[in-house]
Amino acid sequence: MGCAGGGEGEGEGVAGVLAARELAEGQALRQFRHWLENHDCYVFTINGFPYGQFHGARVKEQVYLPDWTSPARHLYTNALFDLLAKLLPAGIEGSVSTVPGSFKEFIQTDEKNKLIRKNIWRCVEHIARVGEKSKRKLHLGLEPEPLCLFENSAETIQFFERLRTDHKNDSRLNEFLGVNYDCCHFAVEFEEPQNAIAALREAGIKISKIHLSSALKTKAMKEERKALEKFSDDVYLHQVVAHGANGKLKFFRDLPDALACSRTCESAESAF
């Protein structure tokens, strides 16, 4: 049994629209660049996954909103690239990571799928312009996650193929768009890293960034389920995938759903 803990990682800094605005206004950007220089640090990536408040309040599936059907997500991500271009040292590639389109439950029509691809492409066009102007190499990393629009290597490749169909022979897709490979998210899907990364590379998809994170795997026995109860909370979404003896995967929207599973689940190996 495997679980994607906390949606986007509780230890990461808050990356939201207010923080982006504050950094871009007045003397804040100049002061931040001065701080980076004094502390021998540099910025090469921005976590653009969370949009608003991410700590101290109920997040759950709302972490994916606004999703890529919304102009707000597109414009926010553009603003992050504008910032990154001003912070990124010459000769270093820079990336922004973002939600994988949306949460599956939110996307019920082909029109919404098309709108997601349209807005992501608008962002690709913006990245190309910003990169050319700043002389920086930039790319957007879509981050597959359990129960999202594309959650494993196969669905990710399918999504990119649809984008390629929409924009035939446009090299900007491969240059400015890739995947943020979150080790936890792919592990919860029971995908071995060497297999998933090889499949993405074979499909010509850039690995924009690798997010080193861990997943929890356990047998769903009574004692283990009892121990896992302390990880259940009302703030973050903890998707769970159970691997049955027959090789089939069973998906649970959240940890409480998995813990409530009947005794028939006890023989399954699950990842969190």
In tens, the pLDDT along 149-201 reads 999 999 999 999 999 999 999 999 999 999 999 999 999 999 999 999 999 99
Reported as a pLDDT band with limits 50, 70 and 90, residue 10 is very low
Q: Which two tokens stand for residue 190?
A: 């029971």
Helices (H), the chain: 17-24, 28-38, 71-87, 110-134, 153-166, 172-176, 183-188, 193-202, 222-228, 255-259
Of residues 247 and 197, the one with the higher pLDDT is 197
Residue 117: pLDDT above 80? Answer: yes
Q: Which domains, and CATH codes, for the chain?
A: 11-184+191-213 (3.20.20.150)
SS3 assignment, position 9:
coil
Helix orientation angle between 71-87 and 17-24, rounded to the nearest 10 degrees: 40
Identify any residues that bridge with 2 across adjacent strands, giving them in sequence order.
Answer: 217, 241
Half-sphere exposure of 124 (CA within 13 A, CB side): 22
Distance, in Å, from the CA atom of 202 to the CA atom of 140, rounded to the nearest integer, reads 19
Quote the percentage of the chain above a pLDDT of 90: 69
Reported as a pLDDT band with limits 50, 70 and 90, residue 106 is very high
Enclosing H/E stretch for 45:
strand 45-47
Residue 244: pLDDT above 90? Answer: no
